[in-house]
Amino acid sequence: MNSFNNENCANCPAHNLNNLVKLGIDMSNFDFVVALAGNPNTGKSTVFNSLTGLRQHTGNWPGKTVGRAEGGFIYSNKRFKIVDLPGTYSLLSTSTDEEIARDFILFGQPDVTVIVIDATRLERNLNLALQVLEITDRAVLCLNLIDEAKRHKIKIDDRNLSKVLGIPVIPTAARQGVGIQELLKSIYDVASGSYICKPYRISSDIKGVNKAVEEINRMLKQKFPNLPNTRWIALRLLEGDQRIIDAVHSGEIAELAH
């Protein structure tokens, strides 16, 4: 169990320091760590630059973040480290990029994961957003390119979306700097614990496997009573995901409980 992270200390950092160090993140000068996830082509790097104020130049090839870029910002006297994860369509497939993103969110337990999505393609982008919400409790949805959506006469009820997903939803147009202040505030609120997320979890039936999922789920719950989302772990075990098999076997998975 993460000792920082108990009920008595609501606004203490929630990240997993040991794992972050293992993942190569130096936290010595920072209070919170924020992960930035999203599909390719959603303007994720623009959001990253807006948050860090371009002071931290990423040195990345525009249009494609490879590996991981890091930056930082200060908000309300707290120092935030922000990690730009590679743009992916999913967290369930087997590419290296997806593994990097998945392991960072799952094992690094960032204080906030900002999911950048393209407002003009909500449905397609929700695929990744829902997968991220399966593995973290603290997230903010950044509904980017809202200007483009307006041009295309697409209207998104962000309050309702926030209610459904159980996390803050902030419409932004990062290119114009619209919504960045609100995004910063939401990140701060979630990180400091003043906004408690109730993340949406996938619950619908998966053709013909419910019995199997339930059986493993029951066993997991018994062994790791504090784990927030054992159903997801059961699904990963059924897919033969070696990283999760190892984590369940070694008991490392229990560290993720809070």
Partner 1 sequence: MSDSLILVVLLLAVSILAFIFYPEKGLLNKWRSIKSNNEKILLEDTLKHLFECEYNSTDCTLTSISGFLSTSQGQSSKIIVKLEEMGLVKPIGTKIYLTPEGKSYALKIIRIHRLWEKHLADNTSIREEEWHTLAELEEHKLTDDEVNRLAAKLGNPLKDPHGDPIPSENGEIPEQKGIELADLKEGDIAKIYHIEDQPLKVFSKLTSLGLSPGMIIKLIEKNKNNIRIECEGEEININPILALNVQVVSISDSEELIESHDTLSNIPVDEEVIIVGLSKSLRGQQRRRLLDFGIVPGTVIKARLKSLSGDPTAYEVRGTTVALRKNQSDKIFIKRKNIV
Partner 2 sequence: MKIDTKHDDPIIATANKLRWEVGDYFHDSLIESIYKEAEVISAKVVTTAGKKSQFDFDKFIDRVVTSKWTGFPIMFLLLAAVFWITIIAANYPSGLIASVLVDTIHPLLKNLATSINIPWYINGVLIDGAYLAMAWVISVMLPPMAIFFPIFTLLEDFGYLPRVAFNMDNIYRRVGAHGKQALTMTMGFGCNAAGVIAARIIDSPRERLIAIITNNFSLCNGRWPTQILIATIFIGNLVPPIYGGIASAAAVVSVALLGIFFSLVVSWSLSKTVLKGEASAFSLELPPYRPPRILQTLYTSLIDRTLFVLWRAIIFAIPAGIVIWLVANVNIQGISLAEYFIRFVDPFALFIGLNGVIILAYVIAIPANEIVIPTVLMLTVLVTGVSGVGSGSGVMFELNNIEDVSMLLKAGGWTTLTGINLMLFSLLHNPCSTTIFTIYKETKSWKWTLLATLLPIMMGITICFLVAQLWRIFASV
Interface residue list for partner 1 (CB under 8 A): 89-90, 92-95, 120-124, 127, 239-242, 245
* Pairing mode of beta strands 112-118, 139-144: parallel
DSSP structural state of residue 94: -
Task: Report the alpha-carbon distance of residue 175 to residue 63 in Å, rounded.
Answer: 14
| 237: its two tokens | 């075990």
State the nearest-atom distance from the C-beta of 32 to partner 2, in Å. Answer: 27
State the nearest-atom distance from the C-beta of 187 to partner 1, in Å. Answer: 27
Task: Report the alpha-carbon distance of residue 37 to residue 116 in Å, rounded.
Answer: 6
DSSP structural state of residue 91: S
Bridge partners of 75, per DSSP, are 78
Yes or no: say if 168 and 133 are a contact pair by the CB < 8 Å rule. no
State the nearest-atom distance from the C-beta of 201 to partner 2, in Å. Answer: 10
State the nearest-atom distance from the C-beta of 46 to partner 2, in Å. Answer: 9
State the nearest-atom distance from the C-beta of 69 to partner 2, in Å. Answer: 12
Bridge partners of 28, per DSSP, are none
Question: Which of partner 1, partner 2, none does 242 bind, CB closer than 5 to 8 A by kind?
Answer: partner 1
Question: Which of partner 1, partner 2, none does 241 bind, CB closer than 5 to 8 A by kind?
Answer: partner 1
Positions that interact with partner 2 (CB under 8 A): 40-41, 57, 59-64, 66, 90, 92, 95, 120, 122-124, 126-127, 130-131, 148, 151-158, 160-161, 164-165, 175, 200, 202, 204-209, 212, 215-216, 219-220, 223, 234-235, 237-240, 245, 248-249
